[in-house]
Structure 1
């Protein structure tokens, strides 16, 4: 199966930066073959470059559902603090703080070596999730007043991803239910912030690929909750409107006909039909079959569901429409048989769509 090279590329880039001593700018000469003395502006440039490398690496691993490439980093910790030689400009520092928090979450939820998924045991997980949610609230308060809209969108993304870990909790517990309802609210908030910013400056056309993937994740999370037993605790119509917004935003992001962003939106619309047509799921708690992709497990669980349903395993007569512009929840049929019968993306196309950058153009 074809693999997206983003994780490989960022791993090489990070290794190259370390070989040149960017992670230790004060002692960079130790990593060089000639004597090196950085001027103050060169020192600050090195710190900013390493901070950018850290942010890029964490963004890639987060979207791919892979463990963080770096957890504890002395230079990054210093760069996150105000008032020292390593301090970076606030715009960069706020993004750095957010990504460092994500790295901490990923490490906490994947470090158990005696488990195939790496998840902590239930008694540890409950305490960890409470602690991480409190830390996120502190982070939101700390940078919330001075942060720009891009930082608030990133914080909304982190809030949703953190609370999506409640999918891994044991079923039928009050903590799991309340956690997933908070994840649902966080998904609606993330979608709303993206839509509002896009209305002002065409945000969706210029953002990094991670936002397309997280936007799809938000749509899948909303879809799972409102087609489960938790639907009675939420405003279903608001969920449908948010799902419509996701499809609309993905449609606006298309660069050319049938590109990966467009096909990703079609998959999301087809997944709605799967969930909406199976009434048995509405009496069950929302769950994931895929649980080893950290915060990206919701996304990859949806992709596997699509593959099993439409990846060349069913006859053309049972497949839903290929046009997701007409598959918004307000117009969705109650069963796949009522939809317009056209071909979904073929199994060969899915080899690309199933990669961590499945909506990348």
Structure 2
């Protein structure tokens, strides 16, 4: 020890020692950096005031890794080992590693930034695939095949909120994510998958009964046109939606409120008229017919259509305060919507036994050989001809101003029946000669024949041709039900679903009328003879 101390004192002679602030002093301080944070390694002053250093004694304790990283004094005890006060207070892992090297803050921050960027990229990729963040503090929604019911206003907030909600497990690829709700109506949310499924259901099963919308348009395009049109399509498709049978019930009240609030907004658009056409064709479920607003909505539909000039598509500017310049496609869309309005309004009048608010004007006139925006598809043109015939029968048979019931007299009704029977035969032959029409057109055609023959129930037994009229009604009811049964045994797709499951309210009303006709005949005296 003395020889070692002499060597150290000799190395610090006045001729070789450096004053504070010189390079040698700096070098000496750097050489002692491993000792300045350890107890017992400080220097001592000699009699001349010069600093002298004593060697580190064997077994002297070093600072722990955590304190060395922060350049702090440490009171760790190595043998026996006792954690230092700082690690104990901060609940850190106190240990001594002789090969430990401090990590610079800059490099550590750079590594953290790279990790954050990686997580952000993974988050954006997950969100682009239709996922949204979920947090334990949020009320978990009840999911059913992409349909979510919740009271939260939104699941997406600012970037800070998104970052705070994300839970990532390092290396495991596990995220706190769930399918994203893209459309919501009063707490009933739908994922993109559920929306696409419902729209496909509508195009495949319901659209053939009223083919006037464009299947090539996406659900987002229909929502941009008007939210009411989008949600009406969803509700119509939910009538037989096996993936979630409760969806129709959940959406009925919110859609009804959206409907009446939209109707109160004046002026309207022809997209709202389209929504009313669908809703009058497939009305919301109700317990009794007395609470069914379909006939009222039919009147609103026609008034809204004429209010925005759908019946005068070439003069739409006269019904608008802004400049309107329609191209050929837009003009055809309005003509088609106007034709469907009359078809739906006539179905409402025939099915409910009320006067129809139809208007078969020049816009809907048949112009053979013309090919332009006023030309309807073969399917809609045939449907329009059928409803024109039903309108003529209703007005002549059931609009007698001299009768308290509005029924035409027996003799007049018998004459009109013979006239319209011949006209119906010609209409039937003309429509059935077109081989490219769907079986649904024949369903509506035979329903029109039943509508014509139902007037026989108002005949008295003394009316001339009374028995012939009853037998004609019997044949009309059987002809209609045969088409119904043929449609029941056919299928729309490979799933074997019957088209009749998705029939319109009018067809169901005519089925009831046909069944009532058969029941009435079976219990009458005419078949007993």
Give the TM-score range, shorter chain: 0.5 to 0.7
Q: Aligned pair count?
A: 232
- Structure-2 separation of matches of 1:121 and 1:210: 27
Please point out which of 306, 311, 336 is paired with 1:18: 306
Please point out which of 507, 510, 519 is paired with 1:211: 507
What TM-score, normalized to structure 1? 0.61
Please give the secondary structure, in 1, of the residue aligned with 2:291.
coil
Please point out which of 87, 110, 126 is paired with 2:414: 126
Contact 1:68 1:107 (C-alpha < 8 Å) held by counterparts: no
Please point out which of 468, 493, 512 is paired with 1:178: 468
Q: CA deviation at 1:119?
A: 1.7
Q: CA deviation at 1:232?
A: 4.2
- Structure-2 separation of matches of 1:127 and 1:55: 27
Contact 2:390 2:448 (C-alpha < 8 Å) held by counterparts: yes
- Other-structure match for 2:332: 44
- Other-structure match for 2:489: 199
Is 2:143 the counterpart of 1:143? no
Q: CA deviation at 1:196?
A: 1.2
- Other-structure match for 1:222: 518
- Structure-1 separation of matches of 2:382 and 2:481: 21
Is 2:294 the counterpart of 1:6? yes
Please point out which of 134, 157, 166 is paired with 2:447: 157
Is 2:364 the counterpart of 1:83? no
Please point out which of 343, 346, 363 is paired with 1:58: 346
Contact 2:336 2:376 (C-alpha < 8 Å) held by counterparts: yes
What TM-score, normalized to structure 2? 0.42
List, as ranges, runs of 4+ consecutive aligned residues in structure 1 with deviation greater than 3 Å.
none
Q: Deviations over 1:117-152 (max 9, x none)?
A: 112223322221111111111100111121331111
Q: Aligned in 2, Cα 1:82/1:164: closer, same or farther, shift over 3 Å?
A: farther
Please give the secondary structure, in 2, of the residue aligned with 1:231.
coil
- Structure-2 separation of matches of 1:77 and 1:68: 18
Q: CA deviation at 1:14?
A: 1.2
Please give the secondary structure, in 1, of the residue aligned with 2:399.
coil
Q: CA deviation at 1:71?
A: 5.0
Please give the secondary structure, in 1, of the residue aligned with 2:321.
coil
- Other-structure match for 2:225: none
Is 2:400 the counterpart of 1:112? yes
Of structures 1 and 2, the larger Rg is shown by 2
- Structure-1 separation of matches of 2:521 and 2:382: 31
Q: CA deviation at 1:37?
A: 2.4
Q: Deviations over 1:238-274 (max 9, x none)?
A: xxxxxxxxxxxxxxxxxxxxxxxxxxxxxxxxxxxxx
Q: CA deviation at 1:84?
A: 4.8
Contact 1:71 1:103 (C-alpha < 8 Å) held by counterparts: no
Q: CA deviation at 1:13?
A: 1.3
Contact 1:194 1:203 (C-alpha < 8 Å) held by counterparts: no
- Other-structure match for 2:78: none
Please give the secondary structure, in 2, of the residue aligned with 1:230.
coil
Ranges in structure 2 where 5+ consecutive residues have no aligned partner: 1-287, 492-497
Contact 2:450 2:477 (C-alpha < 8 Å) held by counterparts: yes
- Other-structure match for 1:279: none
- Structure-1 separation of matches of 2:447 and 2:516: 14
Q: CA deviation at 1:106?
A: 0.7
